[in-house]
Amino acid sequence: MNEMRSPEADDPDACLPVDFMTRTSEILMEQSLTLNEMFLELTRSAVEHQHQWPGATKDYVRLALRAQANCRASLTAMAHVERTIRARDAGADTDGE
């Protein structure tokens, strides 16, 4: 959970897509993956500490569920962006004919 994702290329500009919508989609995907990792880690911590600290377990579960809900929201937003990209690309294909 403490690791950060970083681009593989040495040149940061080489990793950036030309299209803003594509970049937005990539950011939302990274966000959803990070939130999913948080959900898994918080759930693991809740299970680990349920007998020692029942109050903390409740807090871990609450935070895990919040991370899961935010992950779902990120994926929904990404789906909207992807639909917009596909609709735009379909419009560009028909304009060229």
* Eight-state DSSP code of residue 25: H
How confident is the model over 1-14, as pLDDT tens digits?
445 455 555 655 55
Place of tokens 């994702």: 5
Residue 62: predicted pLDDT: 95
pLDDT surpasses 60 at 54: yes
Q: CB of 39 within 8 A of CB of 74? A: no
What burial class does residue 60 get, using C-beta atoms within 10 Å of its C-beta: 0-12 exposed, 13-18 middle, 19+ buried?
buried
What pLDDT digit, counting tens, does each position of 68-96 carry? 999 999 999 999 999 988 888 888 776 55
Instruction: For 12-39, write each residue's pLDDT tens digit.
Output: 555 555 678 888 889 999 999 999 999 9
